[in-house]
Amino acid sequence: MNILLKSAKIVCPENKDLHLKKRDILIKKGVIEKIGATVDAPSNIKVVEKENLHVSLGWFDSSVSFGEPGFEERETIANGLFTAGKSGFTDIVLNPNTHPVPDTSSDVVFLKERGQGKATKLYPLGTLTKNAEGIDLAELFDMRNAGAVAFFDFKKQISNPNLLKIALLYAQNFDGLVYSFPQDGDIKGKGVANEGEISTKLGLKGIPALSEELQIARDLYILEYTGGKLHIPTISSAGSVKLIAEAKKKGLDVSCSVAVHNLFFSDETLVGFDTHFKVSPPLRTKSDCKALIKGLKNGTIDFVTSDHIPMDIEHKRVEFDNAKNGSLGLESAFGSLNTIFELDETISLLTKGRERYQIDSPKLEEGAKACLTLFNPEGEYVFETNDVLSTSKNSMFVGATLKGKVYGIIHNDLSTL
């Protein structure tokens, strides 16, 4: 693949010589051959000229769900990776919420093979326990050797504290990363929305922030005892930010993420009982949103994720109590973040996180393999259903005003432009 990007404004704070400079970028056979003020186009090369073209290092998303195997009607791996690429993501971590779940090395190999030959690279998670049932540890070491980057019983709490203790101790033998979903199921009960004024007015059963914070506090105590590497995905409350900040001050090896929708929306959006806004953890208050944004800015929260979860219409077009959790997020991730943060901050958030999974970070320099995202950061627009590229259409961002458009990616000697 040979491409010449013309007059691309480079957004790369790591490279002070190129940051915010307009340059031509010549890419040959997937490698950045030349970066210059003016680069003449060789023969037989694709020249890319776009309105207000900006380019950055390829974006990374640590929480993406598809459907294959088992739920292909929601999303296949092929179309999911195409959607990720068109949304600007060169690398994604795939959640283990399939049927069957990936709890053996052969399952991980299957997922990696299904992701071969695409512009966006897929990094699978394996489950922490067999069948994600929370009883016995799965084949963690074998899955790690097969390519699993971490271990997670998707959106399920680890009820047994001793299981988490053993997992953290065992995973240290191969520098493995253990996930723990921050929700105490007994306190959550049958809750479907954030416990507060809005849920009370609407008559919806509440999920108190305590259910998240109590689980996190327990897990951090266990981590302090065992050592090891713990990741807490998609936190949602101000109290959680405070707990993790205190743990990091102690020197604990803990990381966390937040979903874009928990920054962009509050529980006030539930007034219409729209099931697209039913997610786990739930949308919380505006003050929680502010605390999460502050946590990202000061580094307490390590990275942001789309928490992309395709869900078929049969599980969304029902009563709020009965609807399944989840919203699409890949297609709207950049446009929503770009309305909250300055451009440099947005790109920093979208490019960080790989090191936690021991994934090599790309470079934007001559001689490096091309791992680039192309976009226009300007221009507001209303996100519509026809902006959704996923097979499922369950996006809570439909109707929201976003800022900026993604053109595509160049990665793995392939392009989605």
Annotated active-site residue in 17, 307, 321, 360: 307
Q: For the segment 341-364, what is each residue's pLDDT rounded down to a tens digit?
A: 999 999 999 999 999 999 999 999
d(CA 164, CA 176): 13
Token reading at 230: 């713990």
Residue carrying structure tokens 């803990």: 254
User: Does residue 289 contact residue 240 with C-beta atoms inside 8 Å?
Assistant: no
Q: What is the Cα–Cα distance from 351 to 90, expressed in whole angstroms?
A: 10
CA angle 17, 20, 21 (to 5 degrees): 65
Give the C-alpha separation, 110 to 183, whole Å: 30
Using one digit for the tens of pLDDT, what is the confidence trace for 161-195?
Answer: 999 999 999 999 999 999 999 999 999 999 999 99
Enter the pTM of the model.
Answer: 0.96
**Angstrom distance (rounded) from CA 273 to CA 276:** 9
The one-letter amino acid code at 201 reads: K
| Beta strand residue intervals within 266-370, DSSP E | 303-305
Where are the domains positioned within the chain? Answer: 2-54+366-415, 58-357
- Between the alpha carbon of residue 302 and those of residues 17, 213, 270, the distances in Å are 26, 17, 28
- Which CATH fold would you assign to the domain 2-54+366-415? Urease, subunit C; domain 1 (2.30.40)
Domain 58-357, classified CATH 3.20.20.140, yes or no = yes
Residue-wise burial string across 102-114, b where 16 or more C-beta atoms lie within 10 A, e elsewhere: bbbbebbbbbbeb
Side chain identity at residue 330, one-letter code = L
- Active site (annotated) includes residue 307: yes
* Crossing angle (nearest 10°) for helices 105-114 and 77-86: 60
Q: Mind listing the pLDDT tens digit of every residue in the chain (417 residues)?
A: 899 999 999 999 888 899 999 999 999 999 999 999 999 988 889 999 999 999 999 999 999 999 999 999 999 999 999 999 999 999 999 999 999 999 999 999 999 999 999 999 999 999 999 999 999 999 999 999 999 999 999 999 999 999 999 999 999 999 999 999 999 999 999 999 999 999 999 999 999 999 999 999 999 999 999 999 999 999 999 999 999 999 999 999 999 999 999 999 999 999 999 999 999 999 999 999 999 999 999 999 999 999 999 999 999 999 999 999 999 999 999 999 999 999 999 999 999 999 999 999 999 999 999 999 999 999 999 999 999 999 999 999 999 999 999 999 999 999 999
> So what's the pLDDT on residue 375?
98
